[in-house]
Amino acid sequence: MTIVDEHDEDGAMRLREHHLVVATAKHVFLHREYGVVFVREAASREDLATYDLTPLLLYGLSVPGTSLRWVMLTPVDNPASIVSVLGKAWTRADGLRGRPDVLKVSRHLAASAVDLPDTLAATDVRLVVADGSDKAFSASVRRCQEDAMWASLPRRRATPSTTLDQLNRCATDRHNHSFQSPQSRVNATMEWWRNRPPRAADLPPGDEIDWRPGAWLDAWEKGLAPAGRRYFHKDTFDGAVWLLTTPPVADDDELQEAISADPESNDLPDVARALVRCWPTSPGELSRCIGSTARSLEWFLDRKAALDYQQRNQLCELLGLELDRDFRTYETCAPCVLIARTSNAAKEAYEFLSHGGDLVFSNEAVPASGLPDPSWRYLMFQAYGGAPNIMLVARGSGVDAKLSQDLFINFQGAKPIRLALYRDIVRTCAKACRDSRSNIRAMKELSDRHVSFFADIASEI
């Protein structure tokens, strides 16, 4: 196999890699009357069949370490061949830059498309199977599902998508527009990728189905709670039809308020759970601060029960979260200190706060002189457009052992900083761990003591 030799400035060779995702769509369905319908809160196909919704197949390609993703949907009873999907993606999606050197797929897809390795090898593309611990691939799966849900958001004066063909064209147009638009700041991976010349797809037509669909396509349904009553609603912003868990109301501001007030119709439980699992204080201490109980908070995080409006607001304030009313999702709005208690919990919180690895920097702070803290390692990271954060990793823990094994996407390793700065980080983390309300306040005070604090760290490392 011939691989184009592409090097960084330091001479190291880098390979182009794509992640291929194939699954039943989690958030997009077809309706006989409404056409394309979007479902924000996932439910099983059986539950949604009562609303006359037909499932779709999702195909997605992602560039790991960047925000570049392309998606396409087909009816489940008329699947596309993998080769034809790749041909369209590598020809039409500008951000993918044509065929890669490596195409990573799930073990289920690899087992169902036995001829794919040879087909790809003929075009100098190597097929790689993702293992169960590949968090970057898992992130690609989640984000391709999410991208399909927002594929209908039109640019100004665009027509809403009501058919699959329109939706697929809109998804490709949005991908190309996003890639071609100038960006004020990009991470190193994105900058390298944007400078790659496009390659021809060089694939056969792929007229015949070259893979076997199976139950593995619906793996995301496992563990879903039974769906409650839902309501069709046509969005006044983009004309898209949604199936919501709250009744539609005439006034858009009232609708936004109803959505933000309903814990089942937004992602607050999921986002909060990722942070609570790593918050320095216990869930019991957190629950007392919001006037709840540990069990009620746990039920809320697991979507088994609701918190009242005041408790949700207090939880958002404690965790530094705010609602993005355009996308109806919660985002972080404040810096914080977290403790990596388990690999999975730390990874989930890191991916949320880093926007999937779109980072200004991600380094372990070590003193340029003197000895480091014998108990903790201090992982500093900041996403573009986000707040700086610190993840504490206990020395000798399971997370400690995995820190150098690509546990955290785009982690750049240990870098020395001034001893005084290092000691201030240690003191700040100790203060942040005292009680639930001290966390964000301590990090903000740290920034106040050092003008452009994390900008200084970024320049030093």
Looking at residue 80, its amino acid is: A
State pLDDT tens for residues 57-116.
999 999 998 889 999 999 999 999 999 999 999 999 999 999 999 999 999 999 999 999
Please report which confidence band the pLDDT of residue 459 belongs to, taking 50, 70 and 90 as the band edges: low
pLDDT surpassing 90 at residue 151 = no
Rounded Cα–Cα distance for residues 414 and 245 (Å): 46
pLDDT surpassing 90 at residue 5 = no
- Give the tokens for residue 432: 């942040």
pLDDT surpassing 70 at residue 4 = no
- Residue written as token pair 């760290």: 457
Please report which confidence band the pLDDT of residue 10 belongs to, taking 50, 70 and 90 as the band edges: very low
Query: What integer pLDDT is reported at residue 154 of this predicted model?
Result: 54
Please report which confidence band the pLDDT of residue 212 belongs to, taking 50, 70 and 90 as the band edges: very high
Q: Outline where DSSP puts E strands in 291-445.
A: 321-324, 329-332, 336-339, 359-367, 376-383, 388-394, 414-417
State pLDDT tens for residues 405-434.
789 999 989 889 889 889 999 999 999 999
Q: What is the largest CA-CA distance in the chain?
A: 70
Report residue 71: phi and psi, to 5°: -130, 155
Please report which confidence band the pLDDT of residue 2 belongs to, taking 50, 70 and 90 as the band edges: very low
Mean pLDDT of 170-181: 87
Query: What integer pLDDT is reported at residue 400 of this predicted model?
Result: 92
DSSP of 97-140: TSS-SEEEE-HHHHHH-TTHHHHHHTTT-EEEEPPTT-HHHHHH
Query: What integer pLDDT is reported at residue 262 of this predicted model?
Result: 47
DSSP summary character for residue 327: T
Residue ranges covered by each domain of the chain: 17-221, 249-331, 334-460
Please report which confidence band the pLDDT of residue 156 belongs to, taking 50, 70 and 90 as the band edges: very low
State pLDDT tens for residues 438-456.
999 999 888 778 766 667 6
Decide whether 17-221 matches 249-331 in CATH topology. Answer: no
Rounded Cα–Cα distance for residues 51 and 54 (Å): 9
How far, CA to CA in Å, does 190 sit from each of 96, 130, 196, 402?
11, 22, 10, 25
How far, CA to CA in Å, does 103 sit from each of 91, 114, 208?
16, 14, 21
| Percent of the chain topping pLDDT 90 | 54
User: Over 73-88, what HEC string results?
Assistant: EEECCCCCCHHHHHHH
pLDDT surpassing 50 at residue 126 = yes
Looking at residue 81, its amino acid is: S
Contacts of 375 (CB under 8 A, 6+ apart): 394, 395
Rounded Cα–Cα distance for residues 447 and 445 (Å): 5
pLDDT surpassing 50 at residue 169 = yes
Beta bridge partners of 348: none
Q: Is 51 exposed, middle or buried (CB count within 10 Å of its CB: 0-12, 13-18, 19+)?
A: middle
- 3-state helix vs strand vs coil in the chain, percent to 5: 35, 20, 40
Query: What integer pLDDT is reported at residue 428 of this predicted model?
Result: 94
- 178-200 exposure pattern, b = at least 16 Cβ within 10 A, e = fewer: ebeeeeeebbebbebbeebeebe
pLDDT surpassing 60 at residue 137 = yes
State pLDDT tens for residues 28-39.
999 999 999 999
How far, CA to CA in Å, does 383 sit from each of 19, 67, 137, 411?
22, 12, 19, 12
CATH number of 249-331: 1.10.260
Mean pLDDT of 115-143: 94
pLDDT surpassing 60 at residue 253 = no
Degrees, nearest 5: CA angle 92-93-94: 105
258 vs 58, higher pLDDT: 58
pLDDT surpassing 60 at residue 3 = no
Query: What integer pLDDT is reported at residue 448 of this predicted model?
Result: 78
Rounded Cα–Cα distance for residues 303 and 224 (Å): 10
Query: What integer pLDDT is reported at residue 6 of this predicted model?
Result: 56
pLDDT surpassing 90 at residue 318 = yes
Query: What integer pLDDT is reported at residue 304 of this predicted model?
Result: 72
| Percent of the chain topping pLDDT 70 | 85
Report residue 147: phi and psi, to 5°: -60, -35
Smallest CA-to-CA distance from 82 within 74, 97, 175 is with: 74
Smallest CA-to-CA distance from 119 within 185, 208, 46 is with: 208
Mean pLDDT of 328-346: 91
For the domain made up of 17-221, give the CATH fold.
Answer: Nucleotidyltransferase; domain 5 (3.30.420)
Q: Which of 32-46, 121-135, 193-207, 229-243 has the lowest mean pLDDT?
A: 229-243
Query: What integer pLDDT is reported at residue 454 of this predicted model?
Result: 66
Mean pLDDT of 209-238: 84
387 vs 260, higher pLDDT: 387
Please provide the average confidence, as pLDDT, over all residues in the chain.
85
Rounded Cα–Cα distance for residues 87 and 72 (Å): 12
The CA R_g of the chain, rounded to the nearest whole Å, is 23
Query: What integer pLDDT is reported at residue 249 of this predicted model?
Result: 57
